[in-house]
Structure 1
């Protein structure tokens, strides 16, 4: 009898990291794959679903403007609970650290359904950075029956929290599976990444700094400080900044007020996954407060400067693929210029081994689910 797996997610990063696993489950006759999305990120989520060819069986469409975490979490618990009661899955699979993932694990726990946690064990050690993601991960970690840790460091973090060692497995990160898949597809279907052609022509001869910023803990003064740094970086004649601006008004309002209209800065709409992979590929380096970029960019040989005080992905820092720079404008500018001007410093980061996986994580997780 086939095992029913209900995979739950709601944001673009979750969709990227879960579509390789969903593809693998759908291709395996041992499983019946069901997908539920919360639409915690509506437009950005839909982009990934379309590219990956995934049609959710359930779409809760829960996000509302300026929705509080209290309201979102309550809606998630009740909505996901109804889906689980209807589907009665053998496993619930969640990914990462979002409110959707946390509520999905908690709803499954209330029904005594085992939970598989993809990208388990990431810890910054500070419950307010990243906020609220650090606590979301810890909640899921106390519930899950299967912990698919992307690295040995993540696995050890779980063991230090007294998670049963029999449930912890190092699988690699599925984001590397996804990146390999989209790069290979884009090489065949060049139209998937043609949308950046005008910017590539506009900034020909310049070194491109790709940028993302959206973390809640950086809202307010942190965002303004980041904008100040970017303005200084883009003042260099040999540099251009391409910044897909997150839809959150706490990001968009600050960045457009501070950076709009500057010659060497392109503030663009959020990119779909193929175009974001292309942005990473054409960039000299990445400035980000995102988690996923810390994993993806090193697979393309691109140094990452992380505009946060802590990271739950210390493997990149230890391997030398990423560097924490916080939100102080002076430090962001200094570290960026160091990579732009010091060939040896750049090469040391660009050539460092990517610790986040080999592109075969989804297959390993499928076998773990099959083993029950």
Structure 2
């Protein structure tokens, strides 16, 4: 008897990183058949990321020119090959297509919100709409779960699983030599081109004082194992990208974060990130402090990763199986549980 198919829809490398451990957990639990699905503007990049975990997308479906066309493509796919459930992260179009086909939708990293009063970004609006068609909300943090309750999501439909980026980092750790070759002076810059140019003076100033400094732009590194290796070896990350904050902490790399404190209050609380203004003088000063004292840098890393404990993928896989009548829902992640250590 064949196991129910669950389609794991990844539209970016960041989503593939978070869904790959779920596919592996499903394979281990042997209750469901995980079907990795590569979509988005660059499905080849998604496929390479899955490959780092020994997975090959069974379905490749490039996104359309807009939400409507993308949703139509998924509707055609699922009319011919209807899954028992669909797991997404940010994929509104596939979630809507599944919803209209009466296919249950599970959303990982559910409940992430900017926390900024009056926020009206497109992404924020899509996340709130996604919550309306989600069957089971799999939240990474207690704050995310509370956000869903504030939006009147039924408490019984929300499960605190933790984030699966930690699971991904632990799976890839043997291949990346994580914790054994941390390179002093390697700074990863995970910001857009315009912001990178704006803080260029900080980089030049630091290069003049620290000849060992090596700055690597995250955008210049291939996704998957190569990027995971970079994070496992980096001394510090400077970024305004929410995904890179979580992935860096999962790899034991502390973060100097540019942007609103409300987006990552959990990491600021444990001390593994530090908020910096996007001006050259401030960034140069903060990086110099970490270079001048390894203790300061390691104290940040010791805060760990408040987004997961390395067991999130198993909870997600078990929750999907329970939803489809195969076993019981897992216990939630303990609210105090974090992963990470000085590396």
TM-score interval, smaller chain: 0.7 to 0.9
CA distance in 1, matches of 2:110, 2:63: 25
Matched, 1:232 2:191: no
- Structure 1 CA distance for aligned equivalents of residues 156 and 299 of structure 2: 37
Structure 2 gaps, min length 5: 324-343
Map of 1:13 onto structure 2: 14
Cross-structure match for 2:227: 276
Rounded Cα–Cα distance in structure 1 between residues aligned with 2:156 and 2:45 = 36
Q: CA deviation at 1:149?
A: 0.7
1:261 corresponds to which residue? none
Q: Equivalents in 2 of 1:227, 1:308: separation in Å?
A: 18
Distance in 2 (alpha carbons) for counterparts of 1:166 and 1:321 = 31
The runs of 5 or more residues in structure 1 that have no matched partner are: 64-70, 189-196, 247-268
2:41, 2:12 → 1: CA distance? 5
Question: Which residue does the alignment assign to 1:252?
Answer: none
- CA shift for structure 1 position 106: 1.7
For the residue of structure 1 that corresponds to 2:66, the secondary structure is: helix
1:302 aligns with 2:280: no
Deviation at 1:324, TM superposition (A): 2.4
- Partner residue in 1 for 2:150: 160
TM-score by length of 2: 0.83
Deviations 1:313-341 (A, max 9, x none): 32111211112224233322222223223
CA change 1:208–1:34 in 2 (3 A) is closer
State yes or no: 1:46 paired with 2:40.
Answer: no
Distance of aligned partners of 1:130 and 1:27 in 2 relative to their CA distance in 1, 3 Å threshold: farther
TM-score of the superposed pair, with normalisation by structure 1: 0.77
2:71 counterpart (77, 82, 93): 77
Q: Which of 127, 136, 141 is the aligned partner of 2:131?
A: 141
Deviation at 1:186, TM superposition (A): 4.0
Given that 2:39 and 2:46 are in contact with CA atoms closer than 8 Å, whether structure 1 keeps it comes out as: no
How many angstroms does 1:364 deviate by? 0.7
Deviations 1:79-105, CA, capped at 9 Å, x for gaps: 12212222222211102x3xxx12111
Closer, same or farther: CA 281–133 of 1 in aligned 2, 3 Å: same
8 Å Cα contact 1:44/1:270 also seen in 2: no
Shift of 1:354: 2.2
2:80 counterpart residue number: 86
C-alpha spacing 1:237/1:313, structure 2 compared with 1 (3 Å):
closer
Worse-matched range after superposition: 119-128 or 312-321: 119-128
Give 1:333-352 correspondences, 5 Å limit.
333-342=284-293, 345-352=296-303
CA contact (8 A) 2:237 2:255 kept: yes
1:215-265: CA deviations, max 9, x gaps?
xxxx64x3432334333333332442332352xxxxxxxxxxxxxxxxxxx
1:278-311 C-alpha deviation (Å, 9 max, x unpaired):
2223222111222233223334432201122355
Change (3 A) 1:371 1:344: same
SS of residue paired to 1:312: helix
The structural deviation recorded for 1:127 is: 8.7
Is the 8 Å Cα contact of residues 9 and 15 (structure 1) preserved in structure 2?
A: yes
Q: Secondary structure at the match of 1:37?
A: strand
Contact 1:127 1:135 in 2 (8 A): no
327, 341, 360: which one pairs with 2:311? Answer: 360
Could you tell me which residue of structure 1 aligns to residue 341 of structure 2?
Answer: none
1:113 to 79, 92, 103: 103
In the alignment, which of 129, 136, 141 is matched to residue 151 of structure 1?
141
Q: Deviations over 1:153-204 (max 9, x none)?
A: 211111111111001111111111110000124459xxxxxxxx9xx9xxx8
The answer to whether residue 174 in structure 2 is matched with residue 184 in structure 1 is yes
Structure 1 residues 132, 243: CA separation in 2 closer, same or farther (over 3 Å shift)? farther
Q: 1:345 to 1:245 in 2, by over 3 A?
A: closer
Distance 1:112 1:278, change over 3 A: same
